[in-house]
Structure 1
Amino acid sequence: MSEGSGGTSNEQQERERILRDLEDLADSLQSSSVPTFLDPLLSTDLTVRQLKVLTILVTSEEGATGRGLSESFGVSMASMSGLIDRLVAQGVAVRSEDPRDARVRRVKATELGRSVVRRLVSGRPELNFDILARLALEDLRALEQGMRAVDAEVNRGTDSPR
Structure 2
Amino acid sequence: MTKTGDAERARLAAQIRNLNISFESSALPTLLNPLLTVELTIQQLKVLTMLVTTDEGMTGSGLAETFGVSMASMSGLLDRLEAQGMVARSSDPDDARVRRVHATELGRTAMRRLVASRPEYADDILMRIPLDDLRALAKGMAAVGAELDRLHQPDR
What TM-score comes out, normalization by structure 2 length?
0.89
Aligned equivalent of 2:133, options 115, 129, 139: 139
What residue number does 1:66 align with?
A: 60
Report the AA paired with residue 91 of structure 1: G
Q: Which runs of 4+ in 1 moved over 6 A?
A: none
Tell me whether 97-106 or 135-144 shows the greater mean CA deviation. 97-106
Question: Structure 1's 89 and 15: CA in aligned 2 closer, same or farther, altered over 3 A?
Answer: same
- TM-score in terms of structure 1 length: 0.86
The match for 2:18 among 1, 19, 24 is 24
Match of 2:112 among 104, 112, 118: 118
Identity of counterpart residues, as a percentage? 57
Q: 2:78 — aligned with what?
A: 84
Unaligned runs of 5+ in 2: none
Does 1:149 pair with 2:129? no
2:27 to 33, 44, 47: 33
Larger Rg: 1
Deviation of 1:51 after TM superposition, in Å, equals: 0.9
Instruction: Report the alpha carbon displacement of residue 39 of structure 1 after superposing the two structures with TM.
Output: 2.5
Give deviations 1:79-105, integer Å, cap 9, x for gaps.
Answer: 111100000000011122222222222
Quote how far apart the aligned CAs of 1:31 are.
0.9
Unaligned runs of 5+ in 1: none
Cα RMSD after superposing both structures: 1.7
User: What is the rounded CA distance, in whole Å, between the counterparts of 1:99 and 1:92 in structure 2?
Assistant: 21
Query: Which residue of structure 2 aligns with residue 51 of structure 1?
Result: 45
**Count of residues in Structure 1 that have an aligned counterpart in Structure 2:** 155
